Amino acid sequence: MLVSFYSGTGSRSGVTTSAACVSAMYSARFKGRCAIIENHAPKYNGLSDAFIERDPFMVAEAPSHYGRRGTNFYYDWVDADMPPMRRIESAVKICDGKLHYIPQEKESRLNPDVFDFRFDKVAEKILDDLETRYDIVFTDLKSTDCLSTSRIVERSDLIILNLPQERRLINDFLYYYHPSYGKKSWYLINNYCEGRYGTEEMIRDNKLDSHSIHRLPSTDILPIISTNGNLAKFLTNHRYDTSTSLHFNLIHNLKTITTNLNRFAGGNGLEDHFTLKHY
């Protein structure tokens, strides 16, 4: 199953953060093999910043996963039709090995236009390979003009649209949103604050199914764990937090999203407490 995180509003709406949070929480809670990939070279606050902890004593760093790991390495293996077990070397293992992240090079190390062209050339082949080997493939899609974004959106089984909590932007975007995509879309409001344009008003204004709307609350901790490499560790450690926890609202909403995603994927929505499958 292919699940894509995307935003068409032209504003920063937390696509990368929500993709990292949902994929990590899902992998921590449920059985199955998951992978996550970007179709762009991150400029800042990318998936690698959320998932890969840096050495705090280094001023500049060229992480090993930018060498024989990452999409460039993966591209070469796929393009050469190398065996799948060789390609798995390109992945960084997260959530006790249940989530495989295939990182990109930082934009400062790679021309984004060259990467865009190269990724688009092999995108279908990469996705074919990933969907064969993983139960769920998450994609963090570039929101602006990108050769591969439209083809991945078209191919996706589920599109999670990230939207800012602004009435005009939401209503204008949904008015022009492709009707065929609407049937396979969820709507995720990031940095959600009570008292502003709410999900109830969004449902009423746009005649949406209430089950298709989710939210991630505004929280002080999310910007920190999204940039220090500890996001997966934090969510795994706090996934059983109770209502007395400072992070309960974030964890509760992520559990709601991932439970619904598990049911969408054909599961029963019940968390797996016992089996951690390493592969």
Domain CATH number, residue 32: 3.40.50.300
pLDDT of residue 59: 46
> Is 13 within the bounds of a domain?
yes
* Residue 36 to residue 188: CA distance in whole angstroms: 18
pLDDT of residue 80: 63
> Is 198 within the bounds of a domain?
yes
Residue range(s) defining the domain that contains residue 97: 2-247+257-264
pLDDT of residue 23: 97
> Is 278 within the bounds of a domain?
no
DSSP state of 91: P
> Is 279 within the bounds of a domain?
no
Q: Are 87 and 49 in contact (CB under 8 A)?
A: no
Which among 278, 205, 273, 257 is positioned nearest to 25, based on CA atoms?
Answer: 257
pLDDT of residue 70: 52
Q: Are 149 and 141 in contact (CB under 8 A)?
A: yes
pLDDT of residue 164: 84
> Is 6 within the bounds of a domain?
yes
CB-count burial class (<10 Å; 0-12, 13-18, 19+) for 231: buried
Would you say the pTM of this structure is higher than 0.75? Answer: yes
Per-residue pLDDT tens digits of the chain, which is 279 residues long: 999 999 877 656 789 999 999 999 999 999 999 999 998 876 667 898 899 887 554 444 444 444 444 555 566 666 666 655 555 566 889 998 999 998 876 554 667 777 788 888 888 988 998 999 899 999 999 877 688 898 899 999 999 999 888 888 888 888 777 766 778 999 998 888 887 887 888 888 888 888 888 989 988 999 899 988 999 999 999 999 998 898 999 999 999 999 999 999 998 888 876 544 443
Other beta carbons less than 10 A from residue 276's beta carbon: 11
Longest Cα separation, the chain: 54
> Is 276 within the bounds of a domain?
no
> Is 274 within the bounds of a domain?
no
Q: Are 189 and 213 in contact (CB under 8 A)?
A: yes
If one counts the domains in the chain, the total is 1
> Is 275 within the bounds of a domain?
no
Other beta carbons less than 10 A from residue 194's beta carbon: 7
